[in-house]
Amino acid sequence: MAKYKMILDLDTGIDDALAIAYALASEECDLIGIVGSYGNILVEDGVQNSLDLLELLGRPDIPVFTGLPHASTKDSFEVMPISAQIHGKNGIGEVKLKKADRKPETMSGIDFFIEAAHKYGKDLVIVPTGPLTNLAAALEKDPQIAKLVGKVTLMGGALTVPGNVNPVTEANINQDPEAADKVFRSEFPLTMIGLDVTTRTLLTTKETQKWRDLKTLAGEKYAELTDYYIDAYKVTSPHLGGCALHDPLAVAAAIDPSLVTTLDLNMKVDTEGPYAGRTIGDETRINEPALLTKAAVNVDKGRFVDLFMERLTTLFSKN
């Protein structure tokens, strides 16, 4: 079976770090590059985290590209206090990693998306797990890419549950609703992996202890950064009983869509008024067949968490 070519677009905080590990641990896909976004951290800090994590996981060969530093409608970005509380000021739970020996690529993340879409076409899978600013910018620069790529499976949004920033919006979409709206209404074949499913897939310190017990550097560092995230969830979402595996679930669903149940729906993102940032069905296209956009509404959580632990534990045992 031909392997997917995967690009991750990350605001490298803790669950983004888990998404990198899931992609590297999955034989079904070749991670061909990471594009950095702002969000949980400033773009340059996220890029550095991605470089350092790839080195920790023994893959300094995977290129990292810098994306845009702020939302499409703004001219600056500051990290929200809640992001620092959940991911730590450095984005990876204040865990110190050895600084990578290399720098990010000189090509921009936007151009990398465009080049890869033309080169790999339907074999390319894009998994954004931060704001959609970079992908919307690539689409604006080269609208053809929407029809070229295999699929976009993104972490963001909330359809059947409340948001996590306010009752209607989820954090990644909230950063740049205009960019998200462009992506949702585009011709990308798109699956939304939102809070509907990601807050059902949870991890506790019982699992992270297994990584610590491996006595490898990657096992120890990943246990430490994930425990920071688990502790933050005890304060911000005590009703869940663990931390939400948002971003790795998007990678897993991109590789194996049967992990989630989806609803075919033409979607939009509200960009103004009291519902700004809401991801919902587009009433103007409600009578058109929804051929391109799906929203995940249920997940086989047991199967996913088992796969997640199997894959990451194997990866950390070797690093």
Active-site amino acid positions: 11, 246
Binding mask 97-136 for ligand BDR (x = CB under 6 A): --------------------------------x-------
4: region left, alpha or beta (phi > 0 left; psi from -120 to 50 alpha): beta
Residue 172 near ligand BDR by CB under 6 A: yes
149: region left, alpha or beta (phi > 0 left; psi from -120 to 50 alpha): beta
3-state SS class at 1: coil
Q: Are 13 and 56 in contact (CB under 8 A)?
A: no
**Smallest gap, in angstroms, from Cβ of residue 312 to Ca ion?**
17
Residue type, 169: T
Residue 45 near Ca ion by CB under 5 A: no
Residue 45 near ligand BDR by CB under 6 A: no
DSSP H helices in the chain: 14-24, 43-56, 81-87, 109-120, 133-141, 145-148, 171-175, 177-184, 195-198, 205-212, 217-236, 246-255, 301-317
Residue 130 near Ca ion by CB under 5 A: yes
Which one of Ca ion, ligand BDR, none interacts with residue 171, CB within 5 to 8 A by kind? ligand BDR
102: region left, alpha or beta (phi > 0 left; psi from -120 to 50 alpha): beta
**Smallest gap, in angstroms, from Cβ of residue 157 to ligand BDR?**
9
Residue 155 near ligand BDR by CB under 6 A: yes
* Binder of ligand BDR out of 164, 191, 199, 319 (CB under 6 A): 164
Residues near ligand BDR (CB under 6 A): 13, 15-16, 40, 83, 129, 155, 164, 170-172, 246-247
Residues near Ca ion (CB under 5 A): 11, 16, 129-130, 247
